[in-house]
Amino acid sequence: MIFNKKKNMIALVMVSLIIVVLLGENQLTIVKETELVREVLAQKFPSETEKRRRIALWVVQHFEGPEPIKTIEVGKIESYGFLGTGGKGVSVRINKKEYNEVALVLSSDDIPSGGVGGISAQFEYKYVDKLNSDLDGIEVLYWR
């Protein structure tokens, strides 16, 4: 009788260990899947800071002027119409100069589509098709 109790106790401990190991593996799998979902969401839905950096990169690649671009101030992304059906736009200021402001039309993924408006007569920069530039040495700020 004592032998059966020991045998049952050993069997119970073994089953408990197996259950703990299996549950531990399931929890690790859930944690890994959660991290993967976060990465995918970050790529599909970039943060406001990342959107501003993309807009600033587009400006650097499509405008050139008498002095190099050192600072780009990107305003709030505005949605027009009911639930954004009228499109999106953003105001951008180059080198912190009021007369170097430009309004950009954004595509559905919040990247400028090439539509440019709201340019003052004193605007110093001209539109070019595409420059091979990056944001090295350029400060990107939130404006307004």
Report DSSP state, residue 83.
G
- The total number of residues shown for the chain amounts to 144
Predicted confidence (pLDDT) per residue in 3-51, tens digit = 677 777 788 788 877 776 666 666 666 667 777 777 777 777 778 888 8
Q: Which band of pLDDT confidence, cut at 50, 70 and 90, is reported for residue 130?
A: confident
Map 56-99 to HEC letters.
Answer: HHHHHHHEECCCCCCEEEECCCEECCHHHCCCEEEEEEECCCHH
Residue 36 structure tokens: 């993967």
**What angle (nearest 5°) sits at the alpha carbon of residue 66, between those of residues 60 and 68?**
40
Beta bridge partners of 72: 94, 140
Predicted confidence (pLDDT) per residue in 80-96, tens digit = 888 777 888 889 999 98
